[in-house]
């Protein structure tokens, strides 16, 4: 059944809040990527989110809050170190996994006894949660398997006719999803790298481990989301790792792919000009690159490119998060 999706201005957050209170689903901006939200305590509403996104039911979603009171209403126990992280990094792009209270439906946690919680800093998101009067469960507002939406136009592309409303919040600030840290383990473990880096977290709570194994489909993973292919455009992505002769390597690959008759686009940070090949400069900082990469994945698909050649970065700081997403999108990773 096709829904009549309301496209709302940020000034109409009250309309969106009303929809959430009545059990509907709304796409809204956060500082990372757009989320598709529903009342986190309403099992039926949450199921609508999974259906609209075509998300596998065994992949849990993040609950978004606007106050520490709400954290207490969702978490069975708040470990001391989790509290330190919340105080330091919230509101912001950090998701903290804790033991859930029984009030949190298993549809949110995909049957797990833990729940992922985050307080976003985006003003529209905060206002939506406050006005709804309930925590909001929200995965990214893309169709499952597509790159996360970093602009309302992406959410509209994927969810018009499927969501009850979409709030027009413009471009997101960070462009990569939040850092996810599991605080239910003896040693806190970063399950997904993001803008809040391992170093930033260690400076607050000491040693943490970073989950960084290659994951095979169907294998047991700590975060169910890890086993799904993600962030992938239709085009084949070839990721060229950071190295001394990276620029030359990209040139060489681009030319030989072109000879094979491929329609290629090069996404890079360095100025790499190759005759007859379309190139997009992603800006010169890793933050610029992170902000824009999902957008250009989508645009490359729209323009009918069949191969995306992308420049990798060093895997430190935000580069760790960026490379994590690029490796998942890529079918070939090469030096
Ligand atoms: O920045 C973000 O985190 C965005 C915005 C909308 O907040 N949300 C987002 O949600 O990226 P999603 O559903 O696309 O990713 C959530 C990730 C998934 O990999 C999921 O498996 C993991 O968090 N996750 C959620 N609850 C979990 C839990 N209880 N235990 C382990 N992993 C969990
Ligand atoms: Mg997602």
Cβ of 60 closer than 6 Å to ligand 1, yes or no, is yes
CA of 61 to the centre of ligand 1 (A): 5
For the cut 80, the answer to whether the pLDDT of residue 284 exceeds it is: yes
Q: How far is CA 117 from CA 181, 272, 292, in A?
A: 10, 41, 26
Task: Return the SS3 of 94.
Answer: strand
What's the pLDDT band for 271 if we cut at 50, 70, 90? confident
In this predicted structure, what is the pLDDT of residue 198? 97
CATH-assigned architecture of domain 6-210:
Alpha-Beta Complex (3.90)
Residue whose CA lies nearest to ligand 1 atom number 21: 225
C-alpha angle 325-331-335 in degrees, rounded to nearest 5: 85
Same fold, 6-210 and 236-334: no
Give mean pLDDT, residues 304-321.
Answer: 96
Q: What would the two tokens of residue 185 be? A: 């383990």
Question: Can you count the helices (H) and strands (E) in the chain?
Answer: 11, 16
CA of 243 to the centre of ligand 1 (A): 32
Task: Indicate whether residue 37 lines ligand 1 (CB < 6 A).
Answer: no
Is any atom of ligand 1 closer than 6 Å to the C-beta of 236? no
Q: Bigger pLDDT: 294 or 223?
A: 294
Query: What average pLDDT does the segment 44-59 reach?
Result: 96
For ligand 1, atom 10, name the residue with the nearest CA: 139
Compute the average pLDDT of residues 291-305: 96
Q: Which of 145-154, 181-190, 215-224 has the lowest mean pLDDT?
A: 215-224
Q: What is the mean pLDDT of residues 309-319?
A: 96
pLDDT in tens, 60-91: 999 999 999 999 999 999 999 999 999 999 99
| For the chain, domain boundaries | 6-210, 236-334
Tell me the pTM: 0.95
Q: What percent of the chain has pLDDT over 90?
A: 88
The model's pLDDT over 199-250, given as tens digits with 9 standing for 90+, comes to 999 999 999 999 876 555 555 666 665 555 556 788 999 999 999 999 999 9
Which pLDDT band, with edges at 50, 70 and 90, does 145 fall under? Answer: confident
Hey, which of 49, 119, 139, 179 would you mutate to test ligand 1's pocket, going by the most ligand atoms within 8 Å of its Cβ?
Answer: 139
CA distances to 176, 197, 286, 291 from 321, in Å = 8, 8, 10, 12
What is residue 219's predicted lDDT score, i.e. its pLDDT?
Answer: 55
- The conformational region for residue 317 under phi > 0 = left, psi -120 to 50 = alpha, else beta, is left
Q: Three-state SS for 140?
A: strand
% of the chain residues with pLDDT over 70: 94
State in Å: Cα 5 to ligand 1 middle: 24
Query: Distance from the CA of 33 to the center of ligand 1, in angstroms?
Result: 12
Residue 32 Cβ contacting ligand 1 at under 6 Å:
yes
236-334, CATH topology level: Rossmann fold (3.40.50)
- Taking alpha carbons only, the member of 57, 29, 79 closest to residue 189 is 79
């Amino acid at each position: 059944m096709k829904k009549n999706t309301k496209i709302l201005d940020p000034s109409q957050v009250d309309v969106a809040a009303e929809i959430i209170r009545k059990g509907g689903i709304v796409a809204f901006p956060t500082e990372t990527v757009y989320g598709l939200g529903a009342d986190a305590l309403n099992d039926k509403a949450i199921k609508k989110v999974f259906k609209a996104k075509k998300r596998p039911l065994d992949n849990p979603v993040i609950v978004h809050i606007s106050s520490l009171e709400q954290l207490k209403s969702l978490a069975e126990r708040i470990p001391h170190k989790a509290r330190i992280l919340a105080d330091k990094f919230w509101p912001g792009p950090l998701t903290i996994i804790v033991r859930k209270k029984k009030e949190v439906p298993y549809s949110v946690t995909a049957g797990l006894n833990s729940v992922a919680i985050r307080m976003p800093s985006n003003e529209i998101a905060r206002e939506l949660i406050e006005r709804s009067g309930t925590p909001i469960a929200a995965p990214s507002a893309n169709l499952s398997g597509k790159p996360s939406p970093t602009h309302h136009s992406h959410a509209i592309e994927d969810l018009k006719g499927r969501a009850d409303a979409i709030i027009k919040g413009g471009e997101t600030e960070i462009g990569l999803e939040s850092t996810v840290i599991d605080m239910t383990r003896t040693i806190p473990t970063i399950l997904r790298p993001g803008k809040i880096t391992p170093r930033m977290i260690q400076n607050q709570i000491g040693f943490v481990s970073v989950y960084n194994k290659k994951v095979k489909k169907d294998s047991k993973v700590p975060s169910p989301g890890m086993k799904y292919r993600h962030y992938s455009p239709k085009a084949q992505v070839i990721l060229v790792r950071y190295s001394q002769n990276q620029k030359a390597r990209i040139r060489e690959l681009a030319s030989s792919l072109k000879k094979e008759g491929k329609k290629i686009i090069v996404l890079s940070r360095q100025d790499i000009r190759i005759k007859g090949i379309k190139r997009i400069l992603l800006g010169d900082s890793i933050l610029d690159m992170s902000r824009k990469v999902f957008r250009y994945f989508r645009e490359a698909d729209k323009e009918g490119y069949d191969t995306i050649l992308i420049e990798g970065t060093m895997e430190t700081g935000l580069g760790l998060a960026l490379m994590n997403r690029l490796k998942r999108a890529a079918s070939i990773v090469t030096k």
